[in-house]
Amino acid sequence: MRRRFLIAATTTALVATTSIAASGPAGALDTVNSERLRREVTVGGILAHQRVLQRIANNNGGTRASGTAGYDESAAYVAARLRKAGYIVRAQEFTFPFFRDLAAPELQQVSPSAQDYETSTFTFSGSGDVTGALVPTLDVQVPPGPTPSSSNSGCEAADFAPASATEPQVALVQRGTCTFAAKAANAQAAGYDAVVIFNEGQPGRQDLLTGTLGNPVSLPVLGLSFADGASLFQATQAGPVVVRAFASTENNPNAVTTNIIADSRGGDPNKVVVVGAHLDSVVAGPGINDNGSGSATILEIAEEMAELKVKPRQKVRFAFWGAEELGLLGSEHYVSALTADELGTIAANLNFDMLASPNYVRFVYDGDGSDTPAAGPPGSAQIEGVFDSYFAKAGLATEPTAFDGRSDYGPFIAVGIPAGGLFSGAEGIKTPEQAATYGGTAGQAYDSCYHQACDTINNVSTRALAELGDAAAHATLTLAVSRTGLFEDGSFRAARRAAAATDASDHQGHSLIR
Contact between 367 and 375 under an 8 Å Cβ cutoff? The reply is yes
Instruction: Give 122's DSSP letter.
Output: P
* DSSP per-residue letters across 128-185: EEEEEEEEEPTT--SSPPSSTT---TTSSGGGSPPPPSSS-EEEEEE--SSBHHHHHH
Does the annotation mark 324 as catalytic? yes
Three-state secondary structure readout of 247-278:
EEEEEEEEEEEEEEEEECCCCEEEEEEEEEEE
CA quadruple 250, 251, 254, 255: dihedral sign = positive
258: Cβ contacts below 8 Å, ≥ 6 apart: 75, 91, 92, 93, 94, 322
Give the whole-angstrom CA distance, residue 119 versus residue 211.
12
Residue of 200, 300, 303, 324 with catalytic role? 324
Give the whole-angstrom CA distance, residue 494 versus residue 25.
17
Give the whole-angstrom CA distance, residue 417 versus residue 249.
37
Q: Exposed (0-12), middle (13-18) or buried (19+): which is 40, by Cβ within 10 Å?
A: middle
Give the whole-angstrom CA distance, residue 293 versus residue 359.
14
Contact between 412 and 496 under an 8 Å Cβ cutoff? The reply is no
Alpha helices in 176-328 (DSSP H): 180-189, 226-238, 292-307
Give the whole-angstrom CA distance, residue 470 versus residue 464.
10
| Catalytic (active-site) positions | 324
